[in-house]
């Protein structure tokens, strides 16, 4: 064995040892209060992972009409008749089938005006599911 091969071998062994150490490292243990706090902050407070994914999408695609917090006060709301409803509070729609239809096919599909656009061709099923759970979570907020 040449010194060069030995060197390569040593590097390989070290790399293996390092990756094994990473897998068992304590940093990824669940239940660490500090980590939990950081994750909760990233998720936007009391939102689950799926809800917070929905929040990102909502801010990008829906907030212009529905408002950043879903209270029906987006910058475009005053141009709309009927206006976007307040999605917070106990009257917030919770039914998965209803929400999925409104978001996928637009509000016309549930017998309302065509003002809430259909997203079924531009967003994935996964993204629409995230939006549905985020809309449901708005029901936990106090209404405007
Ligand atoms: C162009 C403005 C606009 C955009 C963008 C928009 N909406 Fe709407 N949305 C409305 C309006 C206006 C209504 C009320 C329609 C009606 O009552 O006829 C509505 C209604 C709804 C409703 C029904 C609420 C209820 O009480 O039944 C839901 C749910 C909804 N939108 C979700 C969304 C989501 C999620 C998005 C983003 C993916 C979105 N909307 C994007 C304007 C918009």
pLDDT band with cut points at 50, 70 and 90 for residue 14: low
Pocket test for ligand 1, best of 100, 114, 116, 121 (most atoms within 8 A of CB): 116
Q: On the CB side of 74, how many CA atoms lie within 13 Å of its CA?
A: 23
126 domain residue, yes or no = yes
15 domain residue, yes or no = no
111 domain residue, yes or no = yes
Report the pLDDT value the prediction gives residue 5, as an integer from 0 to 100. Answer: 67
88 domain residue, yes or no = yes
For the Cβ of 88 lying below 6 angstroms from any atom of ligand 1, the answer is: no
Question: Ligand 1 centroid to 72 CA: how many Å?
Answer: 9
Specify whether the CB–CB gap between 115 and 63 falls below 8 A: no
More confident site: 35 or 22: 35
The length of the chain, given as a count of residues: 144
23 domain residue, yes or no = no
For the Cβ of 118 lying below 6 angstroms from any atom of ligand 1, the answer is: no
Report the pLDDT value the prediction gives residue 29, as an integer from 0 to 100. Answer: 66
Mean pLDDT estimate for the chain: 87
Instruction: Report pLDDT digits (tens) over 26-61.
Output: 555 677 888 888 777 777 778 999 999 999 999 999
pLDDT band with cut points at 50, 70 and 90 for residue 19: low
Give every CB contact of residue 100 below 8 A, 6+ residues apart in sequence: 128, 129, 132
109 domain residue, yes or no = yes
Closest Cα to atom 7 of ligand 1: 116
CB atoms inside a 10 Å sphere around CB 10: 10
Instruction: Report pLDDT digits (tens) over 56-87.
Output: 999 999 999 999 999 999 999 999 999 999 99
Q: Residue 119: pLDDT above 60? A: yes
Q: Which atom of ligand 1 is nearest to the CA of 112?
A: 18
Closest Cα to atom 25 of ligand 1: 93
Largest CA distance in the chain: 81
Domain CATH code at residue 74 = 1.10.760.10
Q: Which atom of ligand 1 is nearest to the CA of 62?
A: 37
Total number of domains in the chain: 1
34 domain residue, yes or no = no
Report the pLDDT value the prediction gives residue 3, as an integer from 0 to 100. Answer: 66
Average pLDDT estimate for 95-123:
98
56 domain residue, yes or no = yes
> Residue 119 is encoded by which pair of tokens?
């997203």
For the Cβ of 74 lying below 6 angstroms from any atom of ligand 1, the answer is: no
Report the pLDDT value the prediction gives residue 81, as an integer from 0 to 100. Answer: 98
**Parent domain of 122:** 45-138
Pairwise CA distance, residues 52 & 16, whole Å: 36
Question: Ligand 1 centroid to 84 CA: how many Å?
Answer: 6
Report the pLDDT value the prediction gives residue 141, as an integer from 0 to 100. Answer: 87
Distance of CA 62 to the CA centre of its chain: 13
Q: Residue 113: pLDDT above 80? A: yes
Pairwise CA distance, residues 61 & 98, whole Å: 19
């Amino acid at each position: 064995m040449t010194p060069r091969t030995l060197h390569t071998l040593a590097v390989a062994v070290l790399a293996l040892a390092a990756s094994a150490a990473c897998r068992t490292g304590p940093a990824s243990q669940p239940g660490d209060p500090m980590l939990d706090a950081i994750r909760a902050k990233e998720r936007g407070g009391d939102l689950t992972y799926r809800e917070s994914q929905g929040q990102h999408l909502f801010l990008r695609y829906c907030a212009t009409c529905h408002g950043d917090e879903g209270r029906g006060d987006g910058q475009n709301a005053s141009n709309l008749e009927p206006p976007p409803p307040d999605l917070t509070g106990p009257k917030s729609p919770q039914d998965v089938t209803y929400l999925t239809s409104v978001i996928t096919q637009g509000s016309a599909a549930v017998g309302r005006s065509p003002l809430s656009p259909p997203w079924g061709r531009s967003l994935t099923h996964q993204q629409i599911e995230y939006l549905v759970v985020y809309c449901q979570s708005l029901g936990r907020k106090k209404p405007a």
